[in-house]
Chain A
Amino acid sequence: MKIKHTLTFALLLAIIPASYAFAHKVIIFAWVEDGYIHTESSFGSKRKAKNATITVVDEKGLIVHKGMTDPEGNYSFKIPEKVDSDLLLKLDAGTAHQAQWRIPKNELVTVHSAKDTQAAMKEKEKLEESPSVFKIITGIVIIFLLAFAVKFLKRKTAKK
């Protein structure tokens, strides 16, 4: 039983950092340019989230803007006036598909360098990444290892 507990604990430790999740791989990506906030929403890299609602709230949770994505999953709007906090853009693509993107307060006023844009684009690409074969195989291997571990433990306890 001790091994089982250790395994469970190790698994929990491994997954806690991964708890940052966005709804069913629905993605919203936003950036600031020329006084406008531009957004792109999708399910993975190819499937655009069209006609999805975007709600913009400030730190206090007050809604400062609301809009809807076009057939390409894009939506742009002017930076709301008199906002003095980070903005949280919430995407609702229906049936529990939600995602969000935070725009820090300082990004709403400063002009972005090419480096910032590059870093942001990299982050976007990372979000859009399709599931890799490596991850799929690792998942299947883990399932079989767990199954055999359970069988082994059961046999051991049965012998006792």
Chain B
Amino acid sequence: MHISEGVLSGPVLASGAVIAMAGTAIGLKKIDYDRIVHVAILASAFFVASLIHVNIGPASVHLILNGIVGLLLGFAAIPAILTALLLQSIFFQYGGLTALGVNVIVMAVPAVLVHYIFLPLLGKSSTLTFAAGFLAGLFSILFSSLLLGLALWFTDENFFETSLVIISAHIPVMIIEGIVTGFCVTFLLKVYPEIIPVRKK
């Protein structure tokens, strides 16, 4: 789902960079520095996840894991995803550096959203935890696909058609990510509950 060099127009890239920078600043402010290791662990998981490929049609899709990163980190997911995407871009040529801002938004905005929607459901019961994790994984990819369609639409393409192509290409990823995220949160809650943030009241 990475956007490469030369796909988007200048204004879209510039706005993407500005919004991503603002998001990163908020994220850095909101990081609980006692949980910085968790941020690093999840950023690393996101960094590696993209290397697991599934070949569908002419496109090659891969695990993204922005759902679990966002679910567990909230706003801190923005700097985590920024770092991971930057390193992916440098080391594996995944996505262009100029498109980094847009790529961060595409991945991180849904991540932050699922944090606020699904985190309160974690830990209520194991079925609900799995369901919340599954939906977080699924919706994060769905939102990301829509944002990607939007970014391409701003440039010059047909939004509806492009989004439909992107979403349909990512349906298997949505399901896989849902299952992976569901299992991960259920497992983490049992063996490493400290990584699941408790909402401050």
Contact = CB atoms under 8 A, between A and B. Distances in A.
A114 interface: no
A97 B162 CA distance: 13
Interface of A: 15, 18-19, 21-26, 43-44, 47, 49-52, 93-100, 131, 135-136, 138-140, 142-144, 146-148, 150-151, 154-155
In the A-B complex, the 9 residue pairs with the closest CB atoms: A23-B4, A147-B40, A43-B60, A139-B87, A135-B91, A140-B44, A151-B36, A21-B96, A24-B2
A95 B166 contact: yes
B128 interface: no
A113 B140 CA distance: 52
Given A96-B2, A136-B51, A146-B83, 16 more contacts: A15-B86, A19-B5, A23-B4, A23-B95, A24-B95, A25-B92, A43-B53, A43-B55, A47-B53, A95-B59, A96-B3, A131-B92, A139-B47, A139-B87, A144-B44, A147-B40
Mostly helix, strand, loop or mixed at chain B's interface? helix
Interface string B41-57: 00110011001010101
B94 interface: yes
B109 to A, nearest CB: 17
A22 B87 CA distance: 15
Contacts of A49: 58
B39 interface: yes
A26 to B, nearest CB: 8
Contacts of B86: 15
A142 B40 CA distance: 10
A139 B122 CA distance: 30
A83 to B, nearest CB: 22
Contacts of B191: none
Nearest to A99: B4
B97 A143 contact: no
Contacts of A146: 40, 83
Q: Which of A24, A100, A136, A142 has the most CB of B within 10 A?
A: A24
